[in-house]
Structure formats: structure tokens, C-alpha cells
Amino acid sequence: MRILVVGSGGREHTIGWKIAQSSSVKKIYFAPGNGGTSQLGENIDIKADDIESLADFALKNSVDLTIIGPEVPLSMGIVDLFQKKNLPIFGPMQYAAQLESSKAWAVEFMRSYKIPHPDSYIIKTFDEAIKFVSKPQWKQYVIKADGLAGGKGVHLPATQKDAEISVRQMMIDKIYGDAGNILVFQEKIIGPEVSVVTIVDGQNYHILPLSQDHKRVFDHDKGPNTGGMGSYTPTPFVSKKLFKKIESEIIQPTIMGMKQNNHPYNGFLYFGLMIVEGSPFVIEYNVRLGDPETQSQLPLIESDFVEILQSCIRGSLSSLSISHQAAVCVVLAAPGYPGKIETGQIVHNAETIQNSKSVLVFHAGTSNENGVIKVTSGRSLNVVGLGKNIKEAQTNVYKAIGKKNNGVYFDNMHYRKDIANYAI
């Protein structure tokens, strides 16, 4: 098989690494890929949002399956386009992708099917927004841009002035472009977060091992939000009772709701949940795998991943075997991230560490310049430790990081030292 993986992050490198284990795979293309994917397959100079060029490439190169990593091409309708051209592709169609591409649409959907979520208010004009923040319905709330904003479209105002500034930035200054034309105000709820990722064939589904992400840039959840500084799998604090509630109150109603809308959901479906007093609430939907959650989830899948995806496309999801191991992923970030970053540093020891049985390295913001791996963007590398439990996996991952340990490193990198502490 020839497979095309669309995207350039740690998630896409992990997907490529997993599908390379399938005996049916002979060639993997990455568009555009990164420094790590270039060692696994062939990087193609096509951007993830250039969906017409991606379709042309898949057609000309007899690609047997295309797997989409990021949300933008899904929101643009890449699955619809590929299906019109009879090109096999894994992912939801454009209508279903609105679960992520429009926060307002997702709220209306959850209201229709009584799916638990924070109390929400959809606002379409600047004047209406200013009026709301002058007399808010809740003591604490968050403001979300309706559309895709690269993970940055959620503001947590501490004061009325903060809220007014956020509203102006999004609706008037257009800091997120058209994504901020509509805003969703939500009551702020507090509790542990859990990432629930499913593979859905329209009706049937599998749940990947539960994961927890670490959004804040510094230890002890300090500093600004990021795309994610690490993750661990599985999550120990979800009891069997809570797991059943997540299935019956959130996962199943979502899948059945899409089916009743005459748009059965096919693809990865990520539920970002918050647990409040023992009950789950949907904070966000994502219509693709998480990043960095994928880096700690896929290494625990024992089944042939390509066969799983193909069976999903056929609407007859095959069985999924999961390892009883644990995984901890730590993101190595460029200096300055998540602000203005410095790039160009040489990455050391990534290949040496990659050959270890207990540690994996997945690239994100890197390039391969004649065999020399260099840093190109903020979240640069993902180091994943494996072990029989979370503690062992955590020990293994931190032993593999840093010059002093003869581990993976680059100059002035920074990373969190407390990933998975919650679970130990």
C-alpha cells in the first residue's frame, strides 16, 4: 500500500511510525512532513491546506489511503473532495467537521441532543458582546472564538475590562480573522480534564486509552496556554462508573446525533472533557487526533492500525487490541515558546534514543538538512517513555532528555519536569 499522511507535527510522525508497522504498507508520503518523517518516508512539498494539490498528488501517485492529521483541511472539505474523486481517505466530511470548526454549531448540536456541556451563550455582534460583559450571567466565564484559531481562540478574562479587550480583539481587530465573527461565552467550570479519543465508523466505535494533556507552559500549570507540553496514557482517575457515564451521556449521543442528522460520523473523534463532581462535560470536540495525546496513545495500540482505519472506512470496525503498558510524552520546546521563538538549533541524540526499547522520539518542529536535524518551530520534539506503569514510563522519559543524561537535547530548550505527576 501507498499511504499519504497529511500534516507536519508530532501527531503525524506518530501516525507514520504506527502505520509503518503494518506489513501491507510499502510507501509512506508526508505532506509536508518534518525532519523525523523524512527518515520514515518521503516528504512532499504540499501544504496541508492545499487540498486540490493533495488530491492531484494522491491520484497521480496511486495512493491507496490518505490519513488527515490537522483540522484545517477537514474543515475545508478534503474528505468530500477525495470521495468525489474516488480516492480512499480517512476522516470526517466537512459537515461533520463543524463539531470542531464552529464552536457555536457544536453548542447547538449538544443542546439538541442533551449532551452535557457548560452553560453557553452565542453572540453575533460586538454591541451584544459588550452588553453581555457589562452584566454577565456567571461569576466566571470563558470567551471562545467560534472558528478555528490554531488553539489560541479561548480567552479567560479576570475582569470586565479584560473581557472588553478580548471582545474587541476578536470581533473588531480580527486577531483570529473570520474565526472571531461569532463568539461563544461559556460558564467557567472547574475540574480535572481528560482527553477521550474514539475511532468511529458511523455507528460503531473504539475508545483509545484515555489520556491527559498538560496545556500550561511551565511546571505546576503556570504560565500561558500552549498547544500542549506533554501527555500521559492511561488516565487512572476515571473510574468504571465515570467511564460508563462518558459513554452513555456523551459519546453515544454524539455519534447517534450525527447519524440522525443524516451525516454519520466516520473518523477520529476527540472529546475534550472536564469532570465536575463526578460528572463529565464537553469542553470541546476535535475531529482528529490530539497533539500531544497521540504520541502517548498510539504506542499502546497492538492491532494493525492500517486495518483498523480501512475497516472503519468500510463501516465495519474491526477489533482493537490495547497494551497494558503506560506512556508519558514530554514536549521539548524552542526557547521563547509560546511567544517569540529562536530556531535553528541542532538536535542531538534523537536517533540514538529512538533505538531504545523504552523510549520513542517523535519530531514536530524540525527539519532534516543533509542529515542534520534542526529546530524550526515552537514545539520541536516529543520524547515518549514506555513502562509497565505511569511511574516507570515517567522515569524512562526523563532519563532520555538532556545533555547530562546523554539524552535528546538542543541548546536552550525548555520542557516541563512534572508531566504525569498527577497520576503518581
Residues 359-391 pLDDT 10s = 999 999 999 999 999 999 999 999 999 999 999
Q: How large a percentage of the chain has pLDDT more than 90?
A: 96
Which single residue is written with the C-alpha cell 461565552?
185
CA 129, CA 119: separation in Å to the nearest integer?
A: 16
Question: Class for domain 2-93, per CATH?
Answer: alpha beta
SS (H, E, C) 7-57: ECCHHHHHHHHHHCCCCCCCEEEEEECCCCHHHCCEECCCCCCCHHHHHHH
Q: Give residue 225's pLDDT band: very low, low, confident or very high (50, 70, 90).
A: confident
Residue pair 233/297 in contact by the 8 Å Cβ criterion = yes
Architecture of the domain delimited by 193-314: 2-Layer Sandwich (3.30)
pLDDT of residue 179: 97
- What would the CATH number be for the domain defined by 119-187? 3.30.1490.20
Q: How far is CA 395 from CA 301, 358, 384, 392, 418, in A?
A: 21, 10, 11, 5, 11
Domain ranges for the chain, please list them: 2-93, 119-187, 193-314, 326-423
Residue 357 has pLDDT above 90, yes or no: no
Q: Quick one: average pLDDT of 335-340?
A: 95
pLDDT of residue 354: 76
pTM of structure: 0.96
Q: Quick one: average pLDDT of 245-258?
A: 98
Residue pair 100/75 in contact by the 8 Å Cβ criterion = yes
Residue 355 has pLDDT above 80, yes or no: no
Instruction: Give the angle subtended at the CA of 196 by the CAs of 190 and 202, to the nearest 5°.
Output: 130
CA 115, CA 119: separation in Å to the nearest integer?
A: 11
What's the first-to-final CA gap in the chain, in angstroms? Answer: 42
CA 22, CA 203: separation in Å to the nearest integer?
A: 25
* CATH of the structural domain 326-423, one choice from 3.30.465.10, 3.40.50.300, 3.90.600.10, 3.20.20.60: 3.90.600.10
The b/e string for 208-242 (b: 16+ C-beta within 10 A; e otherwise) is: bbbbbbbbbbeeeeeeeebbbbbbbbbbeebeeeb
CA 195, CA 274: separation in Å to the nearest integer?
A: 9
Lateral strand order in the sheet of 205-207: 205-207, 193-201, 266-276, 279-286
Peptide bond into 192 cis (omega under 30): no
**198 Cβ contact list (under 8 Å, min separation 6):** 205, 206, 207, 208, 251, 268, 269, 270, 271
Residue pair 393/327 in contact by the 8 Å Cβ criterion = yes
Q: How many Cα atoms are found within 13 Å in the side-chain-facing hemisphere of 81?
A: 19
The b/e string for 306-330 (b: 16+ C-beta within 10 A; e otherwise) is: bebbbbbbeeebbebebeebbbbbb
Q: Give residue 352's pLDDT band: very low, low, confident or very high (50, 70, 90).
A: confident
Percentage helix, strand, coil for the chain under 3-state DSSP, each rounded to 5: 35, 30, 40
pLDDT of residue 150: 84
210 three-state secondary structure: coil
Q: How many Cα atoms are found within 13 Å in the side-chain-facing hemisphere of 387?
A: 17
